[in-house]
Amino acid sequence: MTIRPPTKPENVWYGEWKRLAPQWPAIQIPEMKFPLFAFAAASFCAVSVANAEDSPIDPEVMKLGQQNFATCMACHGADGKGLKAGPMLMAPTIVGSKLLLAEDPSVPITILLRGIAKEDAKYAGMMAPLGGALDDEKLAAILTYARNTFGNSASAITAEQVAKIRKENEGKTAMLKRSELEAMLPKEGEKAEAPAAE
Ligand code: HEC
């Protein structure tokens, strides 16, 4: 008796598709339209996010944030673009930073509380944990300010949000790797695809 391997179902489907596709061009059209649709969905999302961020930010919070941003200026510079240290920069720009502007506030909060482990010598400075030096209100104000100045625009961050993340990170002293932080961000295109799946 000869045992033949079963035909893979996807091969059957693919064969069928190839057989039908040339005679039935409609099958291919949705595929061609998809990028256009994804682009439209992404633009729609961008507009809704922008509207959500239009909610007014307390000027008192911005003031407290600006005063306390002095701590960050030593490395990120007065303009947020990174202070020059000879041919190097002390720190990267935070203008347009995905980590700072993440929709999930726990990303930038975690950076301030835990710091970023130094893995390369690109920058002269180091993003040390700052949670010990600054209380929840000040950290929230600094982030709200940084997220809404230098041309940045993102939602405000509250002291309650900082307190929650501080609690979650209690006892964790190791600095986070950049890759760990980046893994907290939504995957590329996730937002654009979400409405298409509905
Ligand atoms: C002693 C220098 C120093 C100070 C002070 C400092 N940072 Fe940093 N910061 C760095 C360095 C260096 C990096 C880059 C770390 C890496 O990726 O290796 C960084 C990275 C960051 C990032 C991630 C940016 C990105 O997209 O890569 C944010 C956000 C940030 N810092 C915010 C702040 C804020 C807000 C303050 C003030 C409360 C602050 N930092 C104070 C040195 C500093």
Query: Mind listing the pLDDT tens digit for each residue in 76-86?
Result: 999 999 999 99
Q: Residue 88: enclosing H or E segment and its boundaries?
A: strand 88-89
Residue 5 alpha carbon to ligand 1 centre in Å: 57
Taking 60 as the threshold, does the pLDDT of residue 192 lie above it?
no
* pLDDT at 42 (0 to 100): 58
Taking 80 as the threshold, does the pLDDT of residue 7 lie above it?
no
Q: What is the pLDDT of residues 161-188, one digit of tens each?
A: 999 999 999 999 999 999 999 999 998 7
* pLDDT at 168 (0 to 100): 97
Average pLDDT, the chain: 81
Going by C-alpha positions, the residue among 104, 100, 97, 83 that lies closest to residue 161 is 104
* pLDDT at 188 (0 to 100): 76
Q: What is the pLDDT of residues 32-46, one digit of tens each?
A: 455 555 555 555 545
Taking 60 as the threshold, does the pLDDT of residue 28 lie above it?
no
Residue 162 structure tokens: 């900082």
* Candidate from 72, 127, 147, 184 with most ligand 1 atoms within 8 A of CB, to mutate: 127
φ, ψ of residue 60 in degrees (nearest 5): -65, -40
Residue 14 alpha carbon to ligand 1 centre in Å: 50
C-alpha span between 22 and 35 (Å, rounded): 21
Of 4-8, 13-17, 67-71, 180-184, which gets the smallest average pLDDT?
A: 13-17
DSSP secondary structure code for residue 21 in this structure: G
Taking 50 as the threshold, does the pLDDT of residue 137 lie above it?
yes
Q: What is the pLDDT averaged over residues 6-34?
A: 50
* pLDDT at 187 (0 to 100): 84
Of 26-30, 76-80, 158-162, which gets the smallest average pLDDT?
A: 26-30
Atom in ligand 1 nearest the alpha carbon of residue 72: 37
Taking 90 as the threshold, does the pLDDT of residue 148 lie above it?
yes
Domains of the chain: 52-191 (1.10.760.10)
* Candidate from 62, 71, 75 with most ligand 1 atoms within 8 A of CB, to mutate: 75
* Candidate from 64, 66, 76 with most ligand 1 atoms within 8 A of CB, to mutate: 76
Residue 92 alpha carbon to ligand 1 centre in Å: 7
Q: Judging by beta carbons within 10 Å of its beta carbon (0-12, 13-18, 19+), is residue 112 exposed, middle or buried?
A: buried
pLDDT greater at residue 27 or residue 173: 173
Quick one: pLDDT band at residue 67, thresholds 50, 70, 90?
very high
* pLDDT at 27 (0 to 100): 43
Atom in ligand 1 nearest the alpha carbon of residue 99: 26
pLDDT greater at residue 162 or residue 1: 162
Atom in ligand 1 nearest the alpha carbon of residue 73: 5
Dihedral sign for Cα atoms in the order 156, 161, 162, 168: negative
Q: Which residues line ligand 1 (CB under 6 A)?
A: 71-72, 74-76, 90-92, 94, 97, 99-100, 108, 111-112, 116, 118, 123, 125-128, 130, 142, 146, 178
> Could you identify the residue written with the tokens 């007014």?
56
Residue 74 alpha carbon to ligand 1 centre in Å: 10
